[in-house]
Amino acid sequence: MQLISTVAELRARLSGEASIAFVPTMGNLHEGHLDLMRQAREYGSCVVASIFVNPLQFGPAEDFDQYPRTLDADCEKMKAMVDVVFAPSVNEMYPQQQTVFVELPPIASELCGAARPGHFRGMATVVLKLLNIVQPKTALFGKKDYQQLHIIRQLVAQLNLPVNIVGGETVRAQDGLALSSRNQYLIDTERSEAVFLQQTLQAMRQKFLLGSRDFAVLQQQAVQALNDRGWIVDYVSIRNRTDLKKVVCNQDDVVILAAARLGKTRLLDNIEICNQA
């Protein structure tokens, strides 16, 4: 595995590679990332991962400074799966002030976009830059960040980027908590409580499968259940699975998306409910 930190060196290394599969990350790797890297091998003869904590996608009061930077440990974890790691500095990615951004559709201002203004603009801009730098045939992203994956699919489709986007299933801890680099912010009591987010979505799914279609009530009950246990809820929302638009009753192909804070940690989760008929 080769560790590269400049765009020029990376381009030189990758020129001539016929099929590159790419896993962009912000590092602090967990089994969810490693699972994507393992899958990547099925899509390309050269697997590239990037590690870059992207300042553009963090708000001024967010955790950019605290975000765990663990490059050595990350390299150790992925060395058997990845051929090239691209770990640029902020200056390498943004040698001049970034004044060109991707303008996103309205969905990017809803859900996580409402709680984190500008987050998806910064995310989409860096993803576009990374795709242009690496030029992969396939890029893989986790479904835990469901809205992010949706926006990346739109970016690629609407800007005609020649890359196939693959969404990897969410990897979970034994108790069901979705793996996330931010889980390590949780103190012990919060860690045991954290699984309640997934349990809340599972309970909604059960009600849905038993025929409940009053989505406003289902959402409200879930928010209440979380609030009662001390969570601060950003949203719990039942959306159409393909376009993430709000659904009215009688739709069967949905995803339930949630983001809520436990102490200082913001957790995301979702659950897909495909047409069961």
Q: Using CB under 6 A, which of 4, 14, 26, 178 touches ligand PAF?
A: 26
CA–CA distance, 61 with 65 (Å, rounded to integer): 10
- Does the footprint of ligand PAF cover residue 24 (CB under 6 A)? yes
Sheet of strand 265-273: strand arrangement: 232-240, 254-262, 265-273
Q: In angstroms, give the least distance from the CB of 197 to ligand PAF.
A: 18
Interacting positions 132-171 with ligand PAF (CB under 6 A): 145, 148
- Does the footprint of ligand PAF cover residue 74 (CB under 6 A)? no
Cβ contact 21:41 at 8 Å: yes
- Does the footprint of ligand PAF cover residue 126 (CB under 6 A)? yes
Phi/psi of residue 74, nearest 5 degrees: -60, -45
Sheet of strand 2-4: strand arrangement: 2-4, 84-86, 46-51, 20-25, 138-142, 164-168
Q: Using CB under 6 A, which of 25, 125, 237, 270 touches ligand PAF?
A: 25
The smaller minimum CB distance to ligand PAF, of residues 109 and 221, is found at 109
State the alpha helices, DSSP H only, in 139-262. 146-158, 188-194, 196-209, 215-228
Active site residue 33: yes
- Does the footprint of ligand PAF cover residue 123 (CB under 6 A)? yes
Cβ contact 37:103 at 8 Å: no
SS3 45: coil
- Of the candidate spans 78-86, 93-101, 123-131, 218-226, the one that interacts with ligand PAF by CB under 6 A turns out to be 123-131
- Of the candidate spans 18-26, 85-93, 131-139, 251-259, the one that interacts with ligand PAF by CB under 6 A turns out to be 18-26
Catalytic residues: 33
* Interface with ligand PAF (CB under 6 A): 24-26, 54, 57, 123, 126-127, 145, 148
